[in-house]
A and B are shown apart, each in its own frame.
Chain A
Amino acid sequence: MKVLIVGGGKPLYFLCRNFTSKGYEVVIINRNREECVQLARQLTAVVVHGDGSDAGILKEAGAMGADAVLAITPNDQDNLVICQLASLKFGVPRAIALANDPDNAEVFEKLGVSAFSTTHIVGSLIEQRASLEQVLNLLPVGEGRVNVTEIVLDADSPVAGKFLKDIHLPKNALIAVVIRDNHPIVPRGANDLQAGDRVVLITLPENHGPVLKVFTGEKQ
């Protein structure tokens, strides 16, 4: 897998370190010469110095054969143009742009570019965690259209001691796994839930709140 990342700063550094440790071939494009030198010293990636929204620089970085392009510069207009060039001119199958302004995530999608907003993701994570300390983990998948949540049942939970078949979940929600004493169980209707169980739930953003209430009670 060959990934092109345009941008700089700590997010780029850690992303790149993560990708190279997985064995991906990473090429970085950065406009700042000094940062390029630093990155080339710290990482086992090819570093190209230049403007990533310039077709010539993208070509030099090998956009033609890349599997994915990630544009994470602090300027939304640059991220949009980088991704459009990558997919229109170089036929890169996946081009993903960071939307610094959360409103632009929707704009980019309408203009045909996959986008994500860290403000959205971090914001919703913090909200979920602050409102429910039992929620251990919340992972948006499928571009945020599906949530995977891990919660711990306490003794007050209305579902503790109940069988799965007797628990009424809102539509389009699933109890995927129950972890009891470090043993994962893929539950069926005849399984029960107990206080202390860690339950992994699959929900959609629209039913996430109501589903959590089933497991934690009304206190929110």
Chain B
Amino acid sequence: MKTNQYIVVVGCGRVGAHVANQLSRDGNSVVVIDSDGTKFNDLSPDFSGFRIEGDATHIAVLKEAKLKKADVLIATTHEDNVNVMVAQVAQKMFNVPHVLARVFDPKREAVYTQLGIDTICPTSVAADMFLQAVSNNAGRNERVES
């Protein structure tokens, strides 16, 4: 993996800000886009990337972020449809090699995997972890009983 990648993060909520801070700390060039400028307050003081206030579904905003040069795009806004649209635009129009979108609705995830977009579904991730924790716990109890 290239150590210094050009990464565009769309959405500066809790997840977006966390990801952007960490990637910036690791030495990547990071650009964060959010339609609400006050969200940039969640970035850490040592965040060395760029901040762009604007709506990422407007292509002009993505051009401003120099998406053509990006190695990675991560879409983490709270709206599934925004993430999915931005991811497709990045992939098909700006030829970004690696595109990741957060999609809350697991039913939607299937459709977009079909379209060739890597999606991360926090809902199914959390559900799987709960289920795993429960089954691990059950296993332990059995061992205690036997």
Q: Which residues of A contact B (CB under 8 A)?
A: 53-56, 75-78, 80-81, 84-85, 88-89, 101, 103-104, 107, 110-111
| Inter-chain contact B81/A101, CB cutoff 8 Å | no
Cβ of B143 < 8 Å from any Cβ of A? no
Contact of B111 among A75, A76, A89 (CB under 8 A): A89
Stretch of B65-73, B82-90, B119-127, B131-139 lying at the A interface: B82-90
18 further A-B contacts with Cβ under 8 Å, apart from A107-B93, A111-B88, are: A53-B80, A54-B105, A54-B107, A55-B107, A77-B81, A77-B86, A80-B84, A84-B115, A85-B111, A88-B111, A88-B115, A89-B111, A101-B57, A101-B58, A103-B58, A103-B59, A104-B57, A110-B93
14 residue pairs from A and B, CB less than 8 Å apart: A54-B105, A55-B111, A75-B57, A76-B57, A77-B79, A77-B81, A80-B81, A81-B80, A81-B84, A103-B58, A103-B59, A107-B59, A111-B88, A111-B92
Residue pair A78, B114 in contact (C-beta under 8 Å): no
- A77 lies within 8 A of B57 (CB): yes
| Per-residue contact bits, chain B 85-124, to A (CB 8 Å; 1 contact, 0 not) | 1101100110000000000010110010011000000000
B107 touches A78 (CB 8 A): no
Q: Which residues of B contact A75 (CB under 8 A)?
A: 57, 81
- Residues of B contacting A: mostly: helix
Bound-state CA distance A75–B92 (Å) is 20
Known: A103-B58, A103-B60. A77 touches B85 (CB 8 A): yes
Measured CA separation A81–B111 after assembly (Å): 10
Cα-based distance from A12 to B27 in the complex (angstroms): 50
Q: Report the minimal beta-carbon distance from B138 to chain A, rounded to whole angstroms.
A: 32
Give the size of the chain B interface in residues (CB under 8 angstroms): 21
How far in angstroms is the closest Cβ of chain A from B45? 32
A76 to B85, CA, bound (A): 9
User: Assuming the A-B contacts A110-B93, A111-B92, are A84 and B111 also in contact, with contact meaning beta carbons closer than 8 angstroms in the complex?
Assistant: yes
B81 and A81 within 8 A (CB)? yes
Q: In the complex, what's the smallest C-beta–C-beta distance from B2 to chain A, in angstroms?
A: 28
Q: Are A53 and B81 in contact (CB under 8 A)?
A: yes
- A89 CA to B58 CA, complexed, in Å: 26
| Distance of A101 Cα from B88 Cα, bound (Å) | 17
A85 to B107, CA, bound (A): 11
Q: Is A80's CB under 8 angstroms from B111's CB?
A: no
Complex CA–CA separation, A215 to B122 (angstroms) = 63
Complex: A104 Cα to B85 Cα, angstroms: 11
Report the Cα distance A110→B91, complex, angstroms. Answer: 11
> In the complex, which residue of chain A has the Cβ closest to the Cβ of B107?
A55
Nearest CB of B to A92, in Å: 14
Query: How far, in whole Å, are A101 and B82 apart by their CA atoms in the complex?
Result: 14
